[in-house]
Homo-oligomer: A and B are copies of this chain.
C-alpha cells in the first residue's frame, strides 16, 4: 500500500494483499490492492509462483504457497518452542476445554504461534500467525511486562486501541497492571477484547530465564478463576522446564 521501491518491498506488498478474509485473489486484484502496475504484478507473481511462494489455484486465482508455510515453521517459537510446548498445551486444554494459546512478542505486537480450541469454544478472533497489540490480551500483558524498557515505553507512548469498554487505554493504568503482572507472575485480561471472554496468561521462560513466550487460556466470562490461574501458571512452568529453564 505504501510506495514500495525495491523489488523485495514490491514482492512483500504483493504478499501482504493476502489476508484471512482474502486468502485467494486474481492477478488484477493483486495489482489493485498492492498498487503495483499490472504488468509488474504479472512478472513478479510469475517469479513467486516459480519459487512456490505463491500457488495458482485451479480456478486461476493465486494463494499463498506452501513454501511459505514451510519457512514460517522455522521461525523462532515455531520450531523448538511449539514442539515442546504442544503436549503441555494439550494438558491445559483438557482442563479448560475452551481455548489455549501460545504466543511470542514481535516488536510491539503479539504473534500467536499455536492455538487449541474446542469445537464449541467461545469464538476467538486470533489464529496461528495473527497479530494483536500488546496492551489488551493476556499473553500481550505478560510479554509486555517482561519486554525491554524501550519496548514498554514505546507502547505506553502510543495511543492504546480500544476494543471494548473494559479495554485499558490509559498508560497510567497500564503501568499499574504491568507492575502487578510482574509481581504476581500472571496476567488477566478481563473482557478487554470481547465482552464475552476473559483470558488468563502466564510466562514461559527459556534456558537463561528470559521470558520467551506466554501461554493463555481464554474462557467465557463467568467461568471460575480459582482453578484456572494455577492451571495456566503450572502449564507455563512446565513448558519452561521443558525448554531447559533452571537446568543447563
List the interface of chain A (C-beta within 8 A of B): 6-9, 11-12, 15, 18-20, 23-24, 44, 47-48, 51-53, 55, 57, 63-80, 82-83, 86-88, 90, 93, 104, 106, 111, 113, 115-119, 127-131
A194 to chain B, nearest CB (A): 18
Closest-CB distance, A143 to chain B (whole angstroms): 13
Could you tell me the distance in whole angstroms from the C-beta of A235 to the nearest C-beta in chain B?
12
Q: Which 6 A-B pairs have the closest CB atoms?
A: A73-B129, A72-B72, A87-B119, A69-B72, A68-B72, A64-B75
Contact A8 B7 (CB under 8 A): yes
The answer on a CB contact under 8 Å between B69 and A75 is yes
Chain A's interface: helix, strand, loop or mixed, by majority? Answer: mixed
A18 CB contacts on chain B under 8 angstroms: 71, 74
Task: Point out the residue from B48, B67, B76, B119 that lies within 8 Å of A63, measured CB to CB.
Answer: B76
Question: How far apart sit A11 and B8, CA to CA, in the bound complex (Å)?
Answer: 8
Chain B: minimal CB distance from A181 (Å): 22
Q: Quick one: closest B residue to A65, CB to CB?
A: B75
Show 6 A/B contacts (Cβ-Cβ < 8 Å), sorted by A.
A7-B8, A12-B51, A12-B67, A23-B79, A73-B129, A74-B129
Inter-chain contacts of A12 with B (CB < 8 A): 51, 53, 67
Q: Is the CB of B8 within 8 A of A70?
A: no
In whole Å, how far is A48's beta carbon from the nearest beta carbon of chain B? 7
Q: Which residues of B contact A65 (CB under 8 A)?
A: 75, 106
- Docked pose: A68 CA to B79 CA in angstroms: 13
Inter-chain CA distance A145–B117, complex, in Å, is: 31
Shortest distance from the beta carbon of A46 to any chain B beta carbon, whole Å: 10
Contact A57 B82 (CB under 8 A): no
List the B side residues contacting A66 at CB < 8 Å: 75-77, 104, 106, 111
- Report the nearest B residue to A13, measured CB to CB: B51
Contact B86 A117 (CB under 8 A): yes
Query: How many angstroms from the CA of A140 to the CA of B240 in the assembled complex?
Result: 35
Residue of B nearest to A210 (CB): B58
B residues near A75, Cβ cutoff 8 Å = 55, 63-66, 68-69
Cα-based distance from A129 to B114 in the complex (angstroms):
13
Q: Is the CB of B74 within 8 A of A19?
A: yes
